[in-house]
Amino acid sequence: MDIEIFPHRVLGSDTTEKLLNDLESIDDVKRTVIHGPRFPKTEETLPPQYRERRVINVNGEDVVLQVKTGRIFVELTMESTIDEIEKVCKQHIPYGFDINQSKTNYIRKEQTVSDRIKYGDMDLPDELIGMTDQYSSFEDHVKIIRKDDFD
Amino acid sequence: MAQIYPGTSQVAQNRRNFTNPEYELEKLREISDEDVVKILGHRAPGEDYKSVHPPLDEMDEPDDIVRELVTPIDGAKAGDRIRYIQFVDSMYFAPAQPYLRARSYLSRWRGIDTGTLSGRQVIEARERDIERLSKILLETEYFDTARTGIRGAGVHGHSLRLDENGLMFDMLRRQVFNKETGKVEMVRDQIGVDLDEPVVLGEPLDEETLKAKTTIYRIDGEAYKDDKEAVEVLHNIHVSRSFGAFDPNAGW
């Protein structure tokens, strides 16, 4: 099942970093998609005091942010995880947020014609379906973050 | 005493304050004349005003009683061009909003033309007058550095979610938040042309101040339905204009 976290403000890089780190540390969270307006092309030319875009670190992996965080889609398996997610969100999003469950899928689960055009006839692993849109390159938009395996 | 706006809520009181020409608006920040000229982008600072007709004194005008009655505003006297400034007010507790701006502009100043749209509000006047008015509009409670945008073009954003730092979305990124100083700076003029030096507009107002100053009824602030008096007046207007002169008892 998927849920959508909808913050009442568009999140900046710092909050996104903290939020994603805590979300990723929840065991049941399989995949997350950040959705929102793209950073403007002129971002790199701005003086540093105005810049919002930066490389964030999620569970030890560097992630280059492409968009500002407008919504976060999270794939999970158990309903009970939603409470944990809510707790994490309450901690990091002081402006309020909604957790939506009205759709069964927020992240696409079936392969489409666009996927076939993009990747050819290859067998796409299930966990990569729905992680990128047809207009963007895969490397730029998908980051595979390993879960901690120590117990 | 002119009856400006009904209602007992703070929002109604704020609306009355803006619209009442006798009420002196609170000055919140200082922006120099030169900076105002830079933001407007109609002429370079220090440049002479271009004119579209000779000064009125030098013109041979026909005798007319209205011309004698009405004192021309400074810009008209000098023959300036008509220029504009346009504002966008966020739905999230911006101090002013388009309809209120129109009402208050027209009740406060002469020689202006104003246009109201759902998300933006333009005011036009002769160049030196628009500069004088812009200074008032930018320095007083009409303006908040985060929730109000000065946008001649690319106005989209009044109904979008705010950024985390409270700034309204702006596709041209004219007003940007300076992380080091905590102030909002204008790096482009109102139509999006880069400025040589940023114009510092000042710190954004905090949420409580904005909620106290806003003229927008919102369910998460003061809801319109809770302002009984304002609703009653609206209801009366609705009924009387629906019926017109029709009297259902008399049948005509």
B154 CA to chain A: closest CA distance, Å? 14
Residue with tokens 């208050």: B104
Nearest to B162 among A9, A15, A37 (CB): A9
Q: How many CB atoms lie within 10 A of CB A11?
A: 27
Binary contact (B163, A68; C-beta < 8 A)? yes
Higher pLDDT, A140 or B5: B5
* Range list of H helices, B52-184: 65-69, 74-78, 98-108, 127-139
Radius of gyration of chain B (CA): 21
d(CA B14, CA B10): 6
Mean pLDDT of A18-44: 88
Asked if the C-beta of B161 comes within 8 angstroms of chain A's C-beta atoms, the answer is yes
Mean confidence (pLDDT) of chain B: 92
Which tens digits make up the pLDDT trace of A43-57?
Answer: 888 888 888 888 999
Torsion of CA A8, A14, A18, A21, to 10 degrees: 110
Which tens digits make up the pLDDT trace of A132-149?
Answer: 766 777 777 777 777 665
- The pLDDT of residue B61: 86
Asked if the C-beta of B247 comes within 8 angstroms of chain A's C-beta atoms, the answer is no
- The pLDDT of residue A150: 56
Nearest to A11 among B164, B171, B185 (CB): B164
Q: Is the pLDDT of residue B180 over 80?
A: yes
Binary contact (A46, B164; C-beta < 8 A)? no
Report percent pLDDT > 70 for chain A.
Answer: 94
d(CA B250, CA B252): 6
Asked if the C-beta of B93 comes within 8 angstroms of chain A's C-beta atoms, the answer is no
Binary contact (A10, B178; C-beta < 8 A)? no
Q: Looking at chain A, which residue has its C-alpha nearest residue B180?
A: A49
Q: How many CB atoms lie within 10 A of CB B115?
A: 13
Binary contact (B162, A40; C-beta < 8 A)? no
Residue A90 to residues A21, A97, B111, B122, B166, Cα–Cα distance (Å): 14, 8, 52, 40, 18
Binary contact (B165, A12; C-beta < 8 A)? yes
Binary contact (A46, B179; C-beta < 8 A)? no
Asked if the C-beta of A38 comes within 8 angstroms of chain B's C-beta atoms, the answer is no
- Taking alpha carbons only, the member of A112, A119, A148, A143 closest to residue A17 is A143
Which tens digits make up the pLDDT trace of B123-165?
Answer: 999 999 999 999 999 999 999 999 999 999 999 999 999 999 9
**Which residues contact residue B104 at a Cβ distance below 8 angstroms, ignoring those fewer than 6 apart?**
B18, B19, B96
Which tens digits make up the pLDDT trace of B183-213?
Answer: 999 999 999 999 999 999 999 999 999 999 9
Higher pLDDT, A42 or A30: A30
Q: Looking at chain B, which residue has its C-alpha nearest residue A39?
A: B171
Q: Is the pLDDT of residue B252 over 90?
A: no
Binary contact (B185, A40; C-beta < 8 A)? no
- The pLDDT of residue B1: 57
Mean pLDDT of A114-127: 80
Q: Which of B159, B160, B161 to mutate to test the interface with A (most CBs of A within 10 A)?
A: B161
A9 CA to chain B: closest CA distance, Å? 5
- The pLDDT of residue A16: 93
Q: Looking at chain A, which residue has its C-alpha nearest residue B161?
A: A9
| pTM listed for this prediction | 0.87
d(CA B122, CA B126): 14
Binary contact (A10, B163; C-beta < 8 A)? yes
